[in-house]
Amino acid sequence: MDNFANNDNSDGFQELLNSLPTLAPVVPGKRGGGRKASNNIGADVLGVEMLKELRTNHHVNLFGGDLKGNTLWGVVDQKSYDRAKQISMSIAPSYPQTGILSVSLTQTTEGNIVVQWWKATSINGVLSFRKFYRKGAEYALMKNQKGDYGIWKIDSSTGNPEVKNNGDYFSFPYGELVDFEDYLNSIVEVTELPVSFPDEEVSKLKGLSEILASVNINTVVDSTDDSDEEFEEEEDEVGA
């Protein structure tokens, strides 16, 4: 996903989101487990019960029409859950995911509303977040053939919602969204790592400076990692 606007006029972006109808409901998926890991960490550091707690009692519901631009949501994705469950059962995990996922809604220079993925990995003892491109998982806020708004996976060849063989759409896995601050606090309590975002992004993301001050005990560390790492995963058919 390229050509993002700076969203300096965040009030205008939020007004645009507020003017949209509510999203079409999607049934959340399964929930799941984990254990403590080292170095580059994923959702499995939290353990089975904590992941269940986050996805059950700290789930973010976007279907009330209260979409927030430039706001981060934590993501406990299904493959991380599956990996964590396998580890808890002493089974070699089939998904080599590293890092912690979160997402925000942002606006492109063309005016399209899209999902911006963020990823944090442990770099020199700091849990460092940065924007990244998640292969096979580009989503935009748009209408389906029935005229319902939703966050749908984009067909790169047409720019329209991607459709499965049975006519259903590839929609964003809404059931995986959790409160970002609660998720981050849980991770920090287990790992005891300070958390970093690039300085230029802290002021753009709503409430982030306060969250960082809380988890870092008033110490914000600058992130300087510019590598272009991607998740190793296949596309999922989610939200059907």
Q: How far apart are CA 106 and CA 211, in angstroms?
A: 20
- Residue whose C-alpha is closest to residue 9's, from 162, 142, 204: 204
114 backbone dihedrals φ, ψ, rounded to 5°: -135, 165
Tens of pLDDT, residue by residue over 85-109, are 888 888 888 777 678 899 999 888 8
Strand, helix or coil at 140? Answer: strand
C-beta pairs of 54-58 under 8 Å, 24+ apart in sequence: 54/178, 54/179, 54/182, 54/183, 54/186, 55/31, 55/81, 55/175, 55/176, 55/178, 56/31, 58/178, 58/179, 58/182, 58/183
CA-CA-CA-CA torsion for 12, 161, 240, 52, nearest 10 degrees?
Answer: -40
What's the whole-model pTM score?
0.78
Q: How far apart are CA 161 and CA 146, in angstroms?
A: 12
Residues of the chain with pLDDT > 90: what percent? 23
Neighbours of 213 (CB within 10 A): 12
Instruction: Report domain extents, the chain.
Output: 10-216
Confidence of residue 152 (pLDDT cuts 50, 70, 90): very high
